[in-house]
Amino acid sequence: MKFKLAILSSIIYLVLLGLIYFIHVKFFNVNVVFYASIADGIFASSLLAVILCISKWFRVFTHFEKIELVVIWLLVGYCLAISVPTVIDRSLSFYILEKLDQRGGGIRQDAFEDVFTKEYVKEYRLVDVRLTEQLESGTITIENGCVKLTEKGKGLAKFSAIFRHNLLPKKRLLMGYYSDDLTNPFKKSQAEVEYKCE
């Protein structure tokens, strides 16, 4: 009985989460897709938690079991927020598939650098989207046209570099051969334009 009720309540949670997400993205302002999706998961979990506490149908659950259900819903909401809207919003891989489809199913391999630099950045307003995300995260500020790291941003950049250098694959498949190029992508990087600001 408890197991069936837990499964049923979790299905209700998924339906409620989907409805809240749909209403949110259709009728309200969204600053950052990931944060909005996380908020939707928390909101859906909170609503169902209230129902869990006041409904007579859920009296079969102990207080601990109710807390477990809410934690499970929060984790499911988090996983879905990352795995669906955020991935589709941010994914270069999905862009490639959509672009191939838009271009009739095929694009010359040697044209992809141009597709990325001349189309992807403009079509997906990549610079605007990523700067907005970083501003909302508090990792950068923009002062007089100069984008600057905050202390939080500096800390995350250091963490990211340490993780990249030490915990990303040293033998990663890149177009038919294994390489460690992406563990230190700036190793061979040279600025093509002068872009420093004070």
Which pLDDT score is estimated for 57? 83
pLDDT band at 136 (very low <50, low <70, confident <90, very high): very high
Same domain, 114 and 156: yes
Could you list the residue range(s) of the whole structural domain that residue 8 is in?
2-90
70 & 97 share domain: no
As a whole-number percent, the residues of the chain with pLDDT over 70 amount to 98
pTM: 0.79
**Residue 150 structure tokens:** 């905050």
Mean pLDDT in residue range 56-69: 90
With pLDDT > 90 as the criterion, what percentage of the chain qualifies?
Answer: 73
Do 131 and 85 have their domain in common?
Answer: no
* Domain C-terminal end among 75, 90, 105: 90
Domain membership of residue 192 (yes or no) is no
* pLDDT tens track for 177-189: 898 888 888 887 7
Residue predicted with more confidence, 188 or 77: 77
Do the beta carbons of residue 76 and residue 14 sit within 8 Å? Answer: yes
How many domains, in total, are found in the chain? 2
